[in-house]
Amino acid sequence: MSDIVVLGSANMDLVVRQPRLPEPGETMFGASFMTVPGGKGLNQAVAAARAGGDVAFLGAVGNDAFGDALRDCLREDDIDVHGVIEVDEPTGTAHISVLDGGENAIVVVPGANAVITELDDDAQRRIEDSRYLVAQFERPIELITEAFVVAHGLGIQTVLTPAPVMPVDPGLLQLTDILIPNAGEARALAGVDDDAEAAKALSRQAGLVVMTRGSKGALVARDGVIESEVAPRRVQPVDTTAAGDTFAGVLVAMLAEGAALGRALQAATVAASIAVTRAGASTSMPTRAEIDALLG
């Protein structure tokens, strides 16, 4: 069994590079198109594995070419795919517009990711034998909640990226040991307009909040107090897709290895800064050697 279990989405990303978003009713030319394995869950699993983590993936795909490609992608990084279930719905897709300057806009069609709503016996055993359980909101909330109840009851560290953001039962946050929202997600969850106040408010419910803020770095909050601020690493972004997933996956991999929180945060920041200088989601994520070379 694996140290890190990722209960998450697997999508095929359909990526168009374009100068801007079109106006309603407008047709415009894009510069390029590519298909890239993605989904927040798959991305975080790949990021953690490339950083040295021992990772298993619990997901769902369709009986189609995209599903085959996603399983192959996970296997290439030595991720355990025995928990990837084939269902009747098509494999999930994400339709991504990458704009000049590196920003992106994304529409996700969940497909197979939305089918399974409760843990089967095999998934429960894999969670019970892990040390970290990682989830996002691209799988059914009832499935995530059930998994967190199991993990929390056994003292397994639960890690949640609340994206795409949605109203959350406070009970789920109370089951979360590490909450990793971006600033917009944190403000939406907390119902406040200030980044620091949002992080502090959420940290009164979840165990530890690590709020990512893109080029502003990250804020770390616990028990209603901002503990530290993580400085960014300055780079020229090419594509910000999966930067947050890279950060989360590497953070968990480093913690699972026994790194102190400060060191894990630095590694996650370096990894995300590398990822945004490359195109694509899983294709942009660095290896451990690349991370270590910049950590010093």
Is residue 33 exposed (0-12), middle (13-18) or buried (19+ Cβ within 10 Å)? exposed
- DSSP alpha helices (H): ranges in 154-242? 170-174, 183-190, 195-203
Alpha carbon distance 95, 269 (integer Å) = 26
Reported as half-sphere exposure (CB side, CA atoms, 13 A), residue 273 has a value of 21
With 90 as the cut, is the pLDDT of residue 242 above it? no
Lowest mean pLDDT among 84-98, 148-162, 220-234, 272-286: 272-286
- Other CB atoms within a 10 A radius of the CB of residue 87 amount to 17
With 90 as the cut, is the pLDDT of residue 296 above it? no
Residue spans of beta strands (DSSP E) within 189-258: 208-212, 218-222, 225-230
Q: Quick one: CATH architecture of 4-11+39-91+110-295?
A: 3-Layer(aba) Sandwich (3.40)
Average pLDDT, the chain: 95
Alpha carbon distance 154, 156 (integer Å) = 6
| Band (37; pLDDT cuts 50, 70, 90) | very high
Per-residue pLDDT, 126? 97
Indicate the pTM of the whole model.
0.93
Lowest mean pLDDT among 31-35, 48-52, 131-135: 31-35
CA diameter of the chain: 54
The catalytic residue positions are 245
Q: Give the pLDDT confidence of 119-129 residue by residue, as tens digits.
A: 999 999 999 99
Q: In sequence order, what are the residues at sequence separation of 6 or more whose Cβ sits closer than 8 angstroms to the Cβ of residue 279? A: 15, 17, 34, 98, 238, 239
Contact 2, 80 (CB under 8 A): yes
